[in-house]
Amino acid sequence: MQVVAGKDEVVFIRDDLKAPAWSLDAPLRFLKDANAGRKVAVIGTVSDTTGDSGGTYKKIARKVLECADLAVFVGPNAHRAVRARENEGDNSVQGFPDLRQAAAYLRRELKKGDLVLLKGSHKTDHLARLFLDRIRPIQCWRDRCDKVIFCGACPKLYHHGAEASVAEPMPLQSGVPVFAVVGLGNPGRMFRNTLHNVGCRVLDALARDAGASWKVGPEGSVSDIALGRTRVHLLKPEADMNRNGAMVRRFLERIGSDPEHCFIVHGDADLHLGDVRFKTDGGDAGHKGVGSVIAALGTGRFKRVRVGVRRAGDASKAGRFVLGKISSREDKILVEAVVKAAHIIGDHLQEMPDGETVPAKVKDA
């Protein structure tokens, strides 16, 4: 471990080279025995939890809270750790899908006398940027950097042309909620009936069932529908899957919505063909389209409807099959999945606060 003390009298303890689960005990014992006004543990990716259902990160969070006053998790599994909170008012566990968001939070939160443990995997998390940014604002917040050198020795750290991974978090809107559903895919006729565009198929089903039509908007194809008495804005972004985030943000800003009231529908190669799952928030789990949305909105706190596109027995990378043709048998499976996904969206909207009412000209679903 390495001690790093800043001018603001916040002290960091680095243990950020590697982070298998067994290596957490020693630094946490050190933190527990330390003398400090407040103890904070920042935990990145635990390297041997790949494919975990989420229980491990919840257990880790509880273990961390035995030694620290505040636990901050960073990375695609951070949302799993937040489940360790005792209740809605419990702020002792914080989760951020991206390091830049965690840095912004810690910039506001940390104060004189705090002792902060950084525990993560350098190649995956680059947690050193959390204290380097406090010394001098850095420019590179890139995710998934495979450089083996530490960030402090990287020439791109303060380079103004470096890729920033996320925008400033999009603010929540006050007043009556405005709901939006976005279907991810690629624009163009050639992609229409591919597995890559299953998110758009779900939106087509919602519009068709509501008797609504599509029109061209500034961000892509848009439609307004009614689910019950709630008005819902639909968007199929006119942008490549991996670069659709900017269009999503522009759309939400234009209609007066925000991430909390947005549903993202997308195909998921981690699920078997036809499976449908719902998530309230999280990281991108390697999905570049979702990653683009997180980067543009500055947060992963939006709802997702994931439709499985992985064929049985096919272990190839998603890029090799999501743009291929769909067989008639597979299409029947997807038709059922699309119906299920549409119902899930409707069910969850009914559980949320009342939103915009439906104008008289919009037909009820």
Whether 323 maps to a domain, the answer reads yes
Count of domains forming the chain: 2
222 and 341, same domain (yes or no): yes
Q: CA–CA distance from 147 to each of 19, 26, 50, 143, 154 (Å)?
A: 17, 27, 21, 11, 9
Structure confidence at residue 164 (pLDDT)? 46
pLDDT digits (tens, 9 = 90+) for 169-228: 777 777 889 999 999 998 888 788 788 889 999 999 999 999 999 999 999 999 999 987
259 & 305 share domain? yes
> Which CATH number goes with the domain that contains 142?
3.90.190.20
What the block records as the tokens of 224 is: 């307004």
- Per the CB < 8 A criterion, the answer to whether 286 and 294 are in contact is no
Considering the domain architecture, whether residues 108 and 212 belong to the same structural domain is answered as no
Smallest CA-to-CA distance from 345 within 289, 304, 317 is with 304
Final residue before a domain boundary, out of 153, 171, 198: 153
Q: How far is CA 318 from CA 88, 120, 174, 288, in A?
A: 37, 28, 39, 11
C-alpha span between 267 and 309 (Å, rounded) = 6
Mean residue pLDDT of the chain comes to 86
22 and 60 in a single domain? The answer is yes
> Does 166 fall in a domain?
no
Task: Please give the pLDDT value at position 297.
Answer: 87
Q: Is residue 105 in some structural domain? A: yes
164 part of a folded domain: no
> 333 pLDDT exceeds 50?
yes
Looking at the fold, whether 21 and 145 belong to one and the same domain comes out as yes
User: Is 129 contained in some domain?
Assistant: yes
Mind listing the pLDDT tens digit for each residue in 275-304? Answer: 999 998 877 777 888 988 988 887 888 999
For residue 86, the 8-state DSSP code is: S
Q: Are residues 71 and 126 in the same domain?
A: yes
Q: What is the pLDDT of residue 100?
A: 81
Q: Is the dihedral of CA 168, 218, 287, 207 positive or negative?
A: positive
Find the domain containing 116 and state its range: 2-153
| Band of residue 162 on the pLDDT scale cut at 50, 70, 90 | very low
Distance CA 362, CA 43 (A): 48
CATH code at position 262: 3.40.50.1470
Q: Does some domain include residue 54? A: yes
Residue 24 domain flag: yes
- Domain identity same for 191 and 142: no
Task: Please determine, for residue 365, whether its predicted confidence score (pLDDT) is greater than 50.
Answer: no
* Residue 64 and residue 134 share a domain: yes
Q: Are residues 149 and 204 in the same domain?
A: no
Sign of CA dihedral 67, 69, 72, 73: positive
Note whether 99 and 56 are same-domain residues.
yes
Q: Give the end of a domain, one of 138, 153, 168.
A: 153
365, part of any domain: no
Two tokens, residue 340: 């299920």
DSSP string, 177-217: --EEEEE----SGGGTTSGGGHHHHHHHHHHHHTT---EEE
Q: Which of 153, 171, 187 is the last residue of a domain?
A: 153
Residue 141 DSSP symbol = -
Active site residue 159: no
Same domain, 90 and 204: no
pLDDT for the residue numbered 221: 95
Can you say whether the dihedral through the CA atoms of 203, 206, 207, 208 is positive or negative?
Answer: positive
Collect all residues with Cβ–Cβ distance below 8 Å to 221 and sequence separation of at least 6: 214, 215, 235, 236, 238
- Please indicate, yes or no, whether residues 141 and 205 belong to a single structural domain of this protein: no
User: 79, 122, 126, 196: which is the annotated catalytic residue?
Assistant: 196
Q: Are 331 and 180 in contact (CB under 8 A)?
A: no
> Mind giving me the DSSP string for 203-264?
HHHHHHHTT---EEETTEEEEEEEETTEEEEEEEESS-GGG-HHHHHHHHHHHT--GGGEEE
Token output for 145 = 């950097």
Provide mean pLDDT across the span 238-242: 88
> Is 112:81 a contact under the CB 8 Å cutoff?
no
